[in-house]
Amino acid sequence: MPNNHLEELFKSVQKNYFKKNHKNINVEYYPFRSLKHTIEWTPWQIRIRINQHFINAPNQIIEDLAIILLAKIYKVKNIKESRKRYNEYVEKLKESLPVKKYNRLDSYKAEGRFYDLSRIFQQLNELYFSNGLKTPVLGWSRMKSYRRLGFYDKERDLLVISRIFDQRGIPEDIIRYLVYHEMLHIKYPSIKKNGRRIIHSKQFRETEKQYPEYEDIQQWLKRNIRRL
């Protein structure tokens, strides 16, 4: 589907489904590595990037995707049918895509230059989880990341923290909190509700906020993340 056809379809959805604050829409395909899309509201336009794997998607699926993305901007919730069709299409699409190539697990090391993630994980597991969590593969990220501060990969049972925090002068409690956050992903896996994948459930958020000095840590991250 050419970009101009894509934009016309999105504009049609905006006009027919969302009745206010219409803005110019810019839509393009983009080579995201994962099956994701982005939408951004600017003072001049709505900018949307669609994963390139959807170039050959049926018009109905692109229309459903337009409804899903624009609903985020216009705060509309009643889009269950679009979500259902879109999610069914994505599941079939995944089957046709090449298998992801992962970094070898042994390329991730828990012991960094200044901090040992194994020690931190064991301490947190005992203190907050009654030693109830099985220890995953732990490691510092292979490259510096300022957007993805950590992640837990359930498929590989891998917990990773960005190596930007493995340096002298970083308060250990910042690292402990980041590990704690990813441990919560082990305890509270993502769920599907009304056809939507929820990564941070209500229980997850409530438990996370119980971490000591939670608000202070959030402020520290906001002030310092770009200085690391």
* For range 65-90, the mean pLDDT: 90
The angle that helices 80-96 and 59-74 make with each other, rounded to 10 degrees, is 130
Question: Which has the minimum average pLDDT: 24-28, 39-43, 216-220?
Answer: 39-43
* For range 198-213, the mean pLDDT: 93
Q: What's the pLDDT score for residue 102?
A: 62
Who has greater pLDDT, 99 or 186? 186
pLDDT digits (tens, 9 = 90+) for 162-171: 999 999 999 9
Q: CB–CB of 52/29 below 8 Å?
A: yes
* For range 101-119, the mean pLDDT: 87
Tokens linked to 81:
């049918």
In this structure, what are the phi and psi dihedrals at residue 51, rounded to the nearest 5 degrees? -55, 135
* For range 176-185, the mean pLDDT: 97
The pLDDT mean for the chain works out to: 89
| Same-fold call for 3-96 versus 105-227 | yes
pLDDT digits (tens, 9 = 90+) for 116-159: 999 999 999 999 999 999 999 999 998 888 888 999 998 889 99
Radius of gyration of the chain, Cα coordinates, nearest whole angstrom: 21
Q: What's the pLDDT score for residue 64?
A: 94
* For range 170-179, the mean pLDDT: 96
pLDDT digits (tens, 9 = 90+) for 29-40: 988 877 889 999
Q: In angstroms, rounded to a whole number, what is the distance separating the alpha carbons of residues 107 and 132?
A: 26
Q: Is the pLDDT score of 1 beyond 70?
A: no
Q: What's the pLDDT score for residue 138?
A: 96
Q: What's the pLDDT score for residue 41?
A: 86
Q: What's the pLDDT score for residue 109?
A: 93
Q: Residue 34: is it exposed, middle or buried by C-beta count within 10 angstroms (0-12/13-18/19+)?
A: exposed
Looking at domain 105-227, which CATH architecture does it have? 2-Layer Sandwich (3.30)
Q: Is the pLDDT score of 194 beyond 70?
A: no
Q: What's the pLDDT score for residue 99?
A: 66
Q: Which are the contacts of 50, defined by CB distance < 8 A and separation ≥ 6?
A: 6, 27, 28, 29, 30, 37, 62, 65
Q: Where are the domains of the chain?
A: 3-96, 105-227
Looking at domain 3-96, which CATH architecture does it have? 2-Layer Sandwich (3.30)
